[in-house]
A = this chain, B = another copy of it.
Amino acid sequence: MATMRSTTEHWEEFYATHLPPSDFEDNRTLLKEFCKRHNKGNTRIVLITSGGTTVPLEHNTVRFVDNFSGGTRGAASAEYFLEHNYAVIYMHRLKSMEPFTRHFSGQTFLDMLELNERGPNTTITVKPDSVDVLAPVLASYKSAHDSGSILYVNFTTVSDYFWLLRAACECLTDCGPRALLYLAAAVSDFYIPSSQIPIHKIQSHTGVPNIQLQLAPKMLAPLVSLWIPHAFVVSFKLETDENILISKARAALSKYKHTLVIGNLLQTRRTRVVFVTPTSSSEVTLTREQILNGMEIEDNIVSNVVSHHTDFIKSQHY
């Protein structure tokens, strides 16, 4: 119990000593409206967190510690949740991958276009052989946006993330077990408290900086026990060492009392994950044939999560 109290104090202290990001109230309003609008009938809402968080080393941020994550898993999963008729809150690192646009990064977009210059009657069309690829994505994009089924909110620092996460949970809690939290963001385990960050860029001539990180509060603890106790909560665990993956997933479940951990290894994360619950573990993989057919593992992951979520809702007799 002593440990538990100390953890509690840790997260409370974080909110007491760190200011919310400047666009926090705007985002909270958007979250409230979105949840209110979709909290009707049997609509399920998923909060997807995606991308890495930064730990600034200076207040005027030039340098920061970052976590590896392009946001690929979260962005792909968002599309599949929409296909399963979930309303989607896509809470992502600014400039990380986003659903729909992820298919056309960099120059692929410009390379698809044909310019027909005729002065004031100039037109630009998508080349016929690119239409096949683009049309279904564009149709899904327009359908999701026209129906208001997706809300984008973004963060950069780990502090931004913590503020947004709590706000989203508070807005979702009325949805009971129909709320699904799909916590795919790579959140830093470490941070530097605001009061200890220098204002200006660290100067190299004054010597090599010795970066003193502190353990960040584990927000999964208050999230499950206090903020949104009736939701279905899925967390992710990324490791590079196969030998500790399952044991670390089990340890997280026993510590935070949530429902499901999806474990993956950095090296094989595109083709294999492990679903770990308090009582079972099962692999979700792509076969060689599925890989060749261009299938994404998030298609399988989301189908499995949705089916776990369905069982969870039934078990709650809501």
Which residues of A are in contact with B by a Cβ distance under 8 Å?
Answer: 54, 57-58, 60-68, 70, 95, 98, 100-101, 104-107, 109-110, 113, 115, 117, 122-126, 128, 131, 134-135, 138-139, 141-142, 186, 188-190, 199-201, 204, 208-215, 238-241, 266-267
A62 engages B101 (CB within 8 Å):
no
**Neighbour of A240 across the interface among B58, B98, B204, CB < 8 A:** B58
Residue of A54, A110, A267 with most partner-chain B CB within 10 A: A110
A239 engages B66 (CB within 8 Å):
no
**Neighbour of A208 across the interface among B117, B210, B213, CB < 8 A:** B213
How far, in whole Å, are A117 and B66 apart by their CA atoms in the complex? 43
Can you list 17 pairs linking A and B with CB atoms under 8 Å apart?
Answer: A58-B240, A61-B68, A62-B266, A63-B67, A63-B188, A98-B107, A100-B110, A104-B109, A109-B109, A122-B135, A123-B126, A124-B126, A190-B208, A200-B241, A204-B215, A208-B213, A210-B212
Chain A interface mostly:
mixed
| Chain B min CB distance to A124 (Å) | 4
A201 engages B239 (CB within 8 Å):
yes
A115 CB contacts on chain B under 8 angstroms? 135, 138-139, 142
A209 CB contacts on chain B under 8 angstroms? 190, 213
| Chain B min CB distance to A115 (Å) | 5
B66 engages A110 (CB within 8 Å):
no
B107 engages A240 (CB within 8 Å):
no
Report the nearest B residue to A141, measured CB to CB: B110
**Neighbour of A186 across the interface among B62, B124, B200, CB < 8 A:** B62
